[in-house]
Amino acid sequence: MQGVVDTRDALKMAEESGLDLVEVSPNANPPVCKILDFGKFKYENEKKLRESRKNQTQIKLKEIRMQPKIEKHDLLFKTKHIAEFLEEGNKVKVTIRFRGREMAHTELGRVVLDKVLLALQELDTGCTLDRSPKMEGRFMSMILSPSKSPRK
């Protein structure tokens, strides 16, 4: 801790000690500099960055597609897959695809999505509805996310 020092004096002090003058906080008034080995400083910063990346969890968006004329067994089968994805900690986009004349009865798609939500509540998955059912062209979709922490 030298306090406020002239730039030339700071450079001279760094040269005498055989180290580098590194600007740590350039936005401060006056700018904050340290006398240290720059290679070691850079290495330690990269090491901290790698450690922080290790602790991050990646949340993926999985998609399950259905049709409004889906049978009960198929609906339950796909709902179990949705529950598995949610337990892994992933978000799930449930999509209903309308073909041809099915576009005239989009309310059937909403009924299917409501059945999926009801089945997930019966399976006790603990999911939250991120985006309610919404039409996007020929597709109606909703997004579910896990409310609990992911299990591994």
Domains of the chain, by residue range, sit at 7-54, 61-146
Element housing 42 (H / E): helix 38-54
Q: Please, what is the average pLDDT of the chain?
A: 89
Closest of 84, 95, 91 to residue 128, by C-alpha? 91
Residue 93 has pLDDT above 90, yes or no: yes
Does residue 30 have a cis peptide bond before it, meaning omega lies within 30 degrees of 0? yes
**Would you place residue 148 in the very low, low, confident or very high pLDDT band (cuts 50, 70, 90)?**
low
- Among the residue ranges 60-64, 94-98, 103-107, 144-148, the one predicted with the least confidence is 144-148
CATH topology of domain 61-146: Translation Initiation Factor IF3 (3.30.110)
Residue 124: the pLDDT is 83
**Would you place residue 31 in the very low, low, confident or very high pLDDT band (cuts 50, 70, 90)?**
confident
Q: How far, in Å, CA of 44 to CA of 36, rounded?
A: 12
Is the torsion defined by CA of 13, 15, 20, 21 positive or negative? Answer: positive
- Name the β-bridge partners of 144: 92, 129
Residue 114 has pLDDT above 80, yes or no: yes
Plot region of 76 (φ>0 → left; ψ -120 to 50 → alpha; else → beta): alpha
Q: What share of the chain has pLDDT > 70, as a percent?
A: 97
Residue 151 has pLDDT above 70, yes or no: no
Closest of 101, 99, 96, 105 to residue 134, by C-alpha? 96
Torsion of CA 80, 83, 85, 90, to 10 degrees: 160
- Name the β-bridge partners of 22: 34
Q: How far, in Å, CA of 61 to CA of 63, rounded?
A: 7
Residue 152 has pLDDT above 50, yes or no: no
More confident residue, 139 or 1: 139
The tokens describing 152, both together, are 């591994």
Contact between residue 127 and residue 120 where contact means Cβ atoms under 8 Å apart: yes
Residue 26: the pLDDT is 84
Residue 143 has pLDDT above 70, yes or no: yes
- Name the β-bridge partners of 129: 144
The tokens describing 9, both together, are 């004096």
- Over the stretch 50-92, which tens digit does the pLDDT of each residue have? 988 888 777 889 999 999 999 999 999 999 999 999 998 899 9
CATH class of the 7-54 domain in this structure: alpha beta
In this prediction the pTM is: 0.62
